[in-house]
Chain A
Amino acid sequence: MARVVPDDREKVLVQAARRGDEAAFREIYRTYREPVWSVVLSLVGDPLQAQDILQNVFFKAFRGLPRFRFRSALFTWIYRIARNECRNHLRKRGLPVVPLEDILGSRYEADTARVADGGAWTSADTLTGAVMQLPFKMREVIVLKYQEDLSYDEMSRILGCPPGTVASRLNRALAELETLMRPSEGAR
């Protein structure tokens, strides 16, 4: 699935949705449902909460489409809503989300493939667990950069901060991730 919808198609879709065309809403939802789900689940860690957030993201996106000004790609705008929903949800919930073993166990096969360069290896479970332990601001840059493969410019638009800040935050996040991953290296 192409994540970035061509501009012209995007404009046509958004304009049709603004006119209340249900088919256009359906197309937007089908295009972005899984990418948004992927981000939301990675940020909150709990599928049930992620499901509620996913729904709210699209409710807000549909309601906010008249205010969408095509200053960014539609996916950037929707990701931004998703990120804000996750942040607000976690703030309100008030507690850091700890990855649940059963979620990880059922959704990810243990992957013990070695990383060629440097010889470091780890399981996907450990990696996901370490990412979930990062503070939200660090977790989101890791997820957007490495999971969603976004550019600094795209991340900057989603996070609402300059690319330089994104780069600094990414450095801190990777350094922290390295620290968190150390125990697993010791377990080899």
Chain B
Amino acid sequence: MNVSCFFLRRKFVPYLEGGLRPREARRLERHLAGCRPCEDLVARLRAGHLAARRLGRRPPDPSPRLPEFEELWARRPSLPRLSPALAVPALLGVAAGLVMLVAVSSRTMNSRSRLGFIASGASQAGPEFTPLAIREFAGNSRNRIVTEGFVHNVYYDEQERTLHIKLVEGLQDSEPFVICEIRDVRGLTIPQQGSRIRVYGLARFDAQPGRGWHEVNPVMNIAVLNR
């Protein structure tokens, strides 16, 4: 693929839709006549485009029934409302609290670094953690475990205020997996996708509806082995 292919390929779908100006369309057709890979790609895109055009808006009478506004409104999370007279002092109080929190958490972070919060070696988390492979969680009866794997993805749950790391055995795997729940993220260097990490914590099974997965919750320590 040359530079010309790269830029013209972005116009293939508009071309298939008839959305290009005649001059642009003629230029693209001249290119296709002399470029077999692009010609093949247009043929595949045409088939995909014709199929995709059959997608329609989902029916307006969905099942299950969509909630009426009144139901939604009744269930909305309550938002604290402050009168203007109270708002300014409250904001000042929050700001002061944040300053204190930053000061305390920076001291905590330093002490965690000394404890090897992001470090390697099982001995740093204590010998009582049983090594457990991700695939072994299903038959596991141990509580305090240490496991290793690659970070598949990281997600912050705003409602639960926890960081979730999905850990898999291989870089290309999506299963088996465990979800590592971190409740206190202060001072944590969040591992990147694809990093290999070692996680210490309690092995549990989350049986809530829609979940049904093994997890390390809470995570007590993490060691980033490589990035």
| Chain A contact residues, CB within 8 Å of chain B | 22, 25-26, 29-30, 33-35, 37-38, 41-42, 47-49, 51, 54-55, 58-59, 62-63, 88, 91-96, 106-107, 111, 115, 117-118, 120, 122, 124, 127-128, 130-131, 142-143, 145-148, 164, 167-168, 170-171, 173-179, 181
Closest 5 CB pairs of A and B: A174-B48, A38-B58, A167-B10, A178-B48, A177-B48
Question: Which residues of B are found within 8 Å of A174, using beta-carbon distances?
Answer: 13, 44-45, 48-49, 52
B57 A148 Cβ-Cβ under 8 A: yes
Question: Which residues of B are found within 8 Å of A38, using beta-carbon distances?
Answer: 57-58
| Chain B contact residues, CB within 8 Å of chain A | 9-13, 41, 44-60, 62-64, 66-67, 69, 72-73, 75-77, 79, 152-153, 155, 157, 164, 166, 174-175, 177, 179, 210-211, 213
A63 B10 Cβ-Cβ under 8 A: no
A-B interface pairs (CB < 8 A), number: 139
Interface centre among A35, A131, A147, A178 (most CB of B within 10 A): A178
A63 B79 Cβ-Cβ under 8 A: yes
Q: Could you give 22 example pairs across A and B, Cβ below 8 Å?
A: A26-B73, A30-B69, A47-B62, A48-B64, A49-B210, A58-B72, A59-B72, A63-B79, A94-B177, A107-B62, A118-B50, A120-B51, A128-B55, A142-B52, A147-B55, A170-B13, A171-B9, A171-B10, A171-B13, A174-B48, A177-B48, A177-B51
Question: Which residues of B are found within 8 Å of A35, using beta-carbon distances?
Answer: 57
Question: Which residues of B are found within 8 Å of A29, using beta-carbon distances?
Answer: 69, 72
Question: Which residues of B are found within 8 Å of A59, using beta-carbon distances?
Answer: 72, 76-77
B58 A171 Cβ-Cβ under 8 A: no
Q: Roughly how many angstroms separate A33 CA and B164 CA in the complex, as a whole number?
A: 30
A115 B72 Cβ-Cβ under 8 A: no
Question: Which residues of B are found within 8 Å of A171, using beta-carbon distances?
Answer: 9-10, 12-13, 41, 45
5 further interface pairs, Cβ-Cβ under 8 Å (given A41-B62, A170-B13): A34-B58, A59-B76, A92-B164, A94-B152, A175-B48
Determine how close the nearest CB of chain B comes to the CB of A111; give it in whole angstroms. Answer: 7
Q: Roughly how many angstroms separate A173 CA and B166 CA in the complex, as a whole number?
A: 25
For residue B40, which residue of chain A has the nearest CB? Answer: A175
Question: Which residues of B are found within 8 Å of A107, using beta-carbon distances?
Answer: 58-59, 62-63
